[in-house]
Chain A
């Protein structure tokens, strides 16, 4: 009797936790995807990273309790996973396609061919930025990410984010000449 009551309570609690997690995924998936996509520039890769980030969040039950903590945590883990995947992809590309020249074609669904060209040019320019500037610009272009949230992901103050963003934009504008 007592055992079945405990089981029923446990299952109810787990179902409630799963429903809560489902809501968190719904609220955060677009931003998490964008964080990964801004680094990787590939939808399939970005989705895999987003899935992995949420999976890690699910397994870290302590991070789920507070909405703000969850948001910051999943942002950080998604960015870190995306950078790791980018490094691995670069190594693989260097190894497998060392004989090729030029940059890999991305599947950016930009509005026009002109936009696509400019986007590819900007991606190249961003890749050439120093790492700390690159990270700031990649996160700042994500929707719903203000300087405070970018700073939370990178572990730097919001003022430093603004300063680095200004420098990054200046370098990109110079690169557009």
Chain B
């Protein structure tokens, strides 16, 4: 393929894969023996590729005893579900123990909190005093409790106020 025909490279590949060339390419092929030969070469390679490519998966057959080996492996694996079951039971037991421990702890905490609240209330009740004594207090009780000495009055009047008094 000469340099002038390089622009047809992509279309030649497509034509080799699709078994048919577009009209534009067909016109070019009718005038360009190089590209026509290139297309024939590509088609031959494509046919060769298509014949060999499946061998990537089918070049070899599985052994005749493959099925027997698979079935034997599944027989052996039957032990595994039992092991898995024991494992599952053990896990379930551990989870149950954890749940019980957490619940017991929570109940105990709750009881302790209730007990503390009861003790606090009882303490407050024990310290409680009737407000009656305060209500019965007479204003100025302290003054009344102390009798004035000779020359003193129950209520002391500042001297400055006396000075301001009109005669």
Interface residues of A (CB under 8 A from B): 18, 21-22, 25-26, 29-30, 33-35, 37-38, 41, 43, 46-47, 50-51, 54-55, 58-59, 107-110, 115, 118-119, 122-123, 126, 137-138, 141-143, 166, 169-170, 172-174, 176-177
B62 touches A122 (CB 8 A): no
Minimum CB–CB distance for B55 against chain A, Å: 5
- List chain B residues, Cβ under 8 A from A166: 17
Please measure, in the bound complex, the distance between the C-alpha atom of A122 and the C-alpha atom of B57, giving whole angstroms.
12
Collect the chain B residues with CB atoms within 8 Å of residue A177's CB. Answer: 45
B49 close to A (CB within 8 Å): yes
Q: List 11 A-B contacts (CB under 8 A).
A: A50-B70, A108-B60, A115-B55, A118-B48, A118-B52, A137-B53, A138-B56, A141-B56, A143-B58, A172-B49, A173-B49
Nearest residue, chain A, Cβ from B53: A141
Cα–Cα, bound, A108→B59 (Å): 6
Known contacts A51-B70, A55-B73, A107-B60: A119-B17 contact under CB 8 Å: no
Q: Which of chain B's residues has its CB closest to A31's CB?
A: B57
Q: Are B52 and A34 in contact (CB under 8 A)?
A: no
Distance, CA A98 to CA B57, complexed state (A): 28
Residues of B within 8 A of A138 (CB): 56-57
Q: Contact at A119–B59, with CB atoms within 8 Å?
A: yes
- In the complex, what distance in Å separates the CA atom of A123 from the CA atom of B54? 11
A173: contacting residue among B42, B77, B80, B81, CB under 8 A: B42
By the criterion CB–CB under 8 Å, are B42 and A51 in contact? no
Is B77 a contact partner of A169 (Cβ separation < 8 A)?
A: no
Closest to B77 in A: A55
**B66 neighbours in A (Cβ, 8 Å):** 29, 33, 47, 50-51
Greatest chain A CB density within 10 A among B49, B62, B67, B77 is at B62
B131-161 with Cβ < 8 A to chain A: none
Interface flags for B61-78 (1: CB within 8 Å of A; 0: not) read 111001101110110010
Report B1-18 CB contacts with A as 1/0, cut-off 8 Å: 000000000000110110
- Given A25-B71, A54-B74, A119-B52, A43 and B45 touching (CB < 8 A)? no
Q: A122-B56, A138-B56 are in contact. List 14 more A-B contacts (CB 8 A).
A: A30-B62, A33-B61, A34-B58, A35-B57, A54-B70, A54-B73, A59-B80, A108-B60, A109-B59, A118-B52, A122-B49, A141-B53, A173-B46, A174-B13
Q: Shortest Cβ distance from A12 into chain B, in angstroms?
A: 16
Report how far A51 CA is from B71 CA in the complex, Å: 9
B49 surroundings in chain A (CB, below 8 A): 118, 122, 169, 172-173, 176
Q: Please state if A123 and B74 are interface contacts (CB–CB under 8 Å).
A: no
A126 to B56, CA, bound (A): 10
Q: Whole-angstrom distance from the CB of B10 to the nearest CB of chain A?
A: 9
Are the C-beta atoms of A38 and B57 separated by less than 8 Å? yes
Asked if A59 and B71 make an inter-chain contact with CB atoms under 8 angstroms apart, the answer reads no
List, in ascending order, chain A residues with CB within 8 A of B54's CB. 141, 143
Q: Give chain A residues whose Cβ lies under 8 Å from the Cβ of B17.
A: 166, 169-170, 173
- A51 contacts B69, CB within 8 Å? yes
> Which chain A residue has the least Cβ–Cβ distance from B60?
A43
